[in-house]
Amino acid sequence: MSRILHNRLRSSLKKSTAWSCFDKRAVAFSIWTGKSMLLYKPIDPIHIPRRKYGMLIARAVRGVLKIRYLVLGGAVGGGMTLNKKYSEWKDGLPDMGWLNDLLPDNDQWNRFTTTLLDAKDRISDQFQIGRELTLTLTLAADPRLREAGVERAAELRAWLAQRYEDAVAAAAANNTEPAPQKIQNNLQSRPVPSSIPARGSAEDTAAYEKRVHALQEEVLALQARYQRELQRLEQENRELRQQNMLLRQGRQPPPRKLKRSLIDMYSAVLDELSGWESGEAGRLPRVVVVGDQSAGKTSVLEMIAQARIFPRGAGEMCTRAPVKVTLSEGPYHVAQFRDSSREFDLNKESDLADLRKEVELRMRNSVRGGRTVSSDVIAMSVRGPGLPRMVLVDLPGVISTQTVDMAADTRDAIKQMTRTYMDNPNAIILCIQDGSVDAERSNVTDLVSSCDPQGKRTIFVLTKVDLAEENLANPNRIRRILEGKLFPMKALGYYAVVTGRSRKDDSIQSIREYEERFFRSSKLFKDGLVTPSQVTTRNLSLAVAECFWRMVRATVEQQADAFKAMRFNLETEWKNTFPRQRELDRDELFERARAELLDQSAEVSAVAAAAWERRLQDALWSAAKDRVFAGIYLPAAAQAHDDVDKFNTVVDIKLREWAERELPTQSVLAGREALREEFSALMARAQDSDPVYEPVKKEAVEEALRRHTWEERAQDVLRVLQLNALQDRCVASRADWDAAVSLMETALKEKLSAVDEELKSLTGPGLREKWLYWQSTSEEQKRRGEVRAELERLGSSRPTLAHDEVVAVRDNLRRRGVEVDNDYIRETWKPVYLKHFLERAQTRARDCKKSFYLYSQQNGTGKECCEVVMFWRVSATLRTTANALRQQIGNREAARLDRDLREVLDEMAGDPELKQKLLSGRRVELAEELKRVRQVQEKLEEFIEALNKEK
C-alpha cells in the first residue's frame, strides 16, 4: 500500500512539474503573439499583471494539493505500522488463563452471597429472639405493666424495638463495643406514656427508667458479643486462607505452639512412669476403674467422658488391656491416642465408629501369643467442653469362671493386674458394682477391701439402679448399699447411677436425660432413701475429680523429692563406677554404633585394587583348588596314561564343563567371602571403637551380609569372561610360566601332605613317631602296612590294578599269613598310587621350571609340560575373574551392601528388644535409668510449677 502511494506521489510530482513548464511557455507565447494557447483568444496586454496574480494563486493551490498526498500517505503508512506493533505487543503478553481456575465462577459467587444472606437472617433471628426475651422479662418484672393491658404492652414493645434498632445502628456505625456511659437515654426525649399508672411517684418513674436502661445495656452487650464472635471467625478465616495459600505454594504452615493444660502435663508424667518397676515409681495418683465383668465400668467411664468411645460385645469380654484415658477441658470434643496424630471428632458418628475400631484393634494386637488379657497400656486423651480434668485407667473386669477359649491363667492375670494398680497408695479406686444382680455374687468388693481396708481412697458406684428398682421388692437393700452397711468394705462415698437402657445406639445425651428423669420419678427420692448428691454420673464425676486433685496436690511434692533423691544416688554411682565416660543411654549408643559402622562401610570402596585382587585370588583358589585337582587334573592324568594329546583333550572338556556350570557360582561365593573378610578386617582395624556396642556392629554386618545377594547378570558376564580366558593356551612371558609352575608345586605339595596324612592314619605311625612320641600301631594298621608294602613292591603305574595283579598281591600276603580280599587291596591302592603320582608330578614340575625357552621356541605347540600349561590356564582364568569381581564390588556390590546395611540398622533401631539384647551391662542400664529419672523429675517440676500458678 505504501509503495502504491509512493508511486502516485511521484507521478503527481512529475505532472505538476510538466504543467509548470507548460504554463511558463504558454505565458511567453501569449505575450509575444497576443493570443492565448488555452483559450485561443487574443490577450490584452493590460490584463497581463492580473493574470500573473492568478497564476500565483493557482500555483499555491497546486502546492496545497501536493501536500494532501503526502499527509494521506504518511497517515496510512503510520497506521499500518502502529497496528503491526500493537499485534506484536499483544502476542508478547503472558498467558493469564490461570486466573480463571483460581477465581470463583458466577455460581460460586452466588452461593457465597446466598450463604452470607442466610447468616445475616440467622443473626437477625437471634437478635429478634433476644429482643422478645427481653420484653418478656420486662413485662414479668413489673406488675404495673401487666395491669396496663395489651395496649400499654404494645406501646412499650414499639418503644423497645425503636430503641434496639437505634442501638444496633449506632454499634454498626462505630464497629466497637459501646460504653454504657455514652448511651443516650431516649426516655428523656420521649414523654412518659399516659398509660403508665399515675399513682406512681417520681421514685417509681426513676426505678422504671433504670430497669429499662439496664435492659438496653444488656441488649447492646449481646450485640457486642456477636460482633466479637464475628471478628474471631473472620480472624480464623484469614488464617485458614493463609494456610491454604502456603499449601498451594508447596510450603507447610508454621506449627502453632499450644499451651499444654495441667492435666496433659500430669498425663505425660504418668506416661514416663509406665512400666517402672522401682519402689517409689508409679506412686502418683490416678483413678483406677475396677469391677466385675459386665458391671458397667466402661459405661461409667463413657458417661464421664461424654462419648461412646469403647467397643461393646454381647456377653463377651471387651476390655482386654488397661486403657488410660486423660480427660481435659477444651473447645472441641475430640479424642486422640498418645502415639498418633489423628484427632477423632466425637460429635461425628463416623469418627466414633473409627475410634471404637481402633481401640478394639489395639486390644487384639496386645493379646497375641495365646493370651486373653495384656498389661500393655493403651493411652488416649479426650478433650471437650465441661469435661472434668483427671486420669482414669479402665481395667479388665474381674471374672469368677473362665471359659474354654480363654488362656489358663486369665482369671489370676486379671486379679494380679487389678491388685497391682490398686496397691498404689495414691490410687483412687472407683469400685463398680452391678445393681441388677445379687450383691453376694460380687468378686471385686473383697479384692478392693483387701487393698484399701479403711476405704480412704475408694469410691463405690452402684450401676443399673433402674433395673435394680424394678427387680427388688425391698428398696431398703439399695439404701443399705449406698449407706455402706451391706458390704464389709468401706468407701469415701457411695453413688448410684444409670448408664443406659441396654441399647447400643443411645447417645450420651439421651442416657443422661433418661438418668435424670428416672431419679426424679424414682421411689428412692420419693421415699427419701437417698440424697440428691448421691445420684447421677454428673455428681459422681465432680466428686471423683475433686478427690483426684486433692490427692495430687497432697502427694506430688513428695514424689518429686523421691525422684530427686533417686537421681542423686544414680549420678553418684555413675561418677564412681564410670568416671571418664559419658552418660550415653541405649539409643545414643546405638546411634554411635550406626555412625561408626556406616563410616567403615564407606571405607570399602577406598581399598586399593591390588589388595582387592590378592584377596579375591586367594578366595577363588581356596574355593576352586579341590575341583581343579580332583575333578580335572587327576581324572585327565588317569585317563591319558602318559598320552599328552588325550590329556589335553580331557582337560579342555572338563575345564569347559567347570566354567559353564560351577565356576561362576563359586566365583560369586568367593567374592562374597572376600567382601566379608575385608569388612571384618576394617572393623578389626578400628582403634577407637567402644567395646560396648561391638555386638551391635557384628550383628548388623552379619545380617547385612546374609541379605546381600550378588547381581544375577554378573554370573553371565563372569561365565563369558572365564570361557574366553580358558581358551588361551599360550603362556606369553617367563613370569607367567614361573607363576604357573609355582602354583602347580604348591597344589601338589598340599595334596601330597593330605595323602601322607591319610596313609599314616591307615598304616599307623612311622618309626620316628614310635620312638619319640611312644605311639604304637593297631592290628588293622599293621595289616594295612603289609598290604601297602606289597603294593609298593609291585611297582604298578596304573591308577587301577588289573585282576592278575590283585591276585598276585593277595597270594603273596597269604603266604605271610595276611588274609585280605580284593576290595581291601584296591582300597589301599588308591592312596598308594596317588602318593607315587604326586611325587612324579613334583619331579615333572621341577623339570618344567627350566623349559620355558623350549616352550617359546615351539610357539606353544610342544607337548612337553602340558600340566604347567593347564595350571597357567586356571590361574589366568582366576586372575581375570578376580579383576572382574573387583570391578563389580567397587562399582555395584559395595553400594548395594551399604544399602542393605542401612536397612538392617533401621530395622534394629525400631526393635527395642533387640537393642536391649545387644546393648546390655551395668553401664547401659545405669545410663537408661538416669535418663528416665531425669525426664520424670523435669516433668514433675514443670507440673508442680504450673500447679502452683493455678493455685
Asked whether the predicted pLDDT for residue 266 surpasses 70, the reply is yes
Q: Is 336 helix (H, G, I), strand (E, B) or coil?
A: strand
**CB of 323 within 8 A of CB of 343?**
no
Per-residue pLDDT reduced to its tens digit, 435-466: 777 666 677 888 888 888 888 889 999 888 88
Asked whether the predicted pLDDT for residue 524 surpasses 50, the reply is yes
**CB of 394 within 8 A of CB of 298?**
yes
The pLDDT score that the predictor gives to residue 877 is 92
Per-residue pLDDT reduced to its tens digit, 37-54: 444 344 444 444 455 556
Q: Greater confidence, 682 or 82?
A: 682
**CB of 894 within 8 A of CB of 711?**
no
**CB of 297 within 8 A of CB of 355?**
no
Q: Greater confidence, 526 or 46?
A: 526
Which three cell numbers, joined as nine digits, stand for 398? 474381674
Confidence of residue 31 (pLDDT cuts 50, 70, 90): very low
For the chain, the average pLDDT equals 76
Quickly tell me which residue has 442416657 as its cell.
511
Question: Within 13 Å, how many C-alpha atoms sit on residue 142's CB side?
Answer: 25
The pLDDT score that the predictor gives to residue 443 is 78
List, as one string, the DSSP characters of 762-817.
HH---HHHHHHH-----HHHHHHHHHHHHHHHHT--SSS--HHHHHHHHHHHHHTT
DSSP letter for 343, please: -
The pLDDT score that the predictor gives to residue 270 is 79
The pLDDT score that the predictor gives to residue 335 is 92
Asked whether the predicted pLDDT for residue 181 surpasses 50, the reply is no
Helix (H) or strand (E) holding 420: helix 410-422
Q: Which of 75-79, 354-358, 690-694 has the highest mean pLDDT?
A: 354-358
Per-residue pLDDT reduced to its tens digit, 91-110: 655 555 554 555 556 666 56
Q: Greater confidence, 312 or 799?
A: 799
Lowest mean pLDDT among 792-801, 853-862, 940-949: 853-862
DSSP letter for 194, please: T
- Cα–Cα distances (Å) from 777 to 528, 760, 765, 790, 818, in that order, read 110, 10, 7, 18, 16
The pLDDT score that the predictor gives to residue 276 is 60
Q: Which residues pair with 494 in a beta bridge?
A: 460
**CB of 455 within 8 A of CB of 489?**
yes
CA torsion through residues 884, 886, 890, 892, sign? positive
CA 744, CA 740: separation in Å to the nearest integer?
A: 6
Residue 697 backbone dihedrals phi, psi, to 5 degrees: -65, -45
CA 438, CA 472: separation in Å to the nearest integer?
A: 10
Query: CB-based contacts of 328: which residues, under 8 Å, 6+ apart?
Result: 261, 263, 264, 381, 382, 383, 387, 389
CA torsion through residues 579, 584, 589, 592, sign? negative
Mean pLDDT of 66-77: 56
Which three cell numbers, joined as nine digits, stand for 368? 497375641
Per-residue pLDDT reduced to its tens digit, 372-426: 788 888 889 998 888 888 889 999 888 877 777 787 778 888 888 888 888 888 8
The pLDDT score that the predictor gives to residue 528 is 64
Per-residue pLDDT reduced to its tens digit, 793-841: 887 778 888 888 888 888 888 888 888 888 898 888 988 888 988 998 9
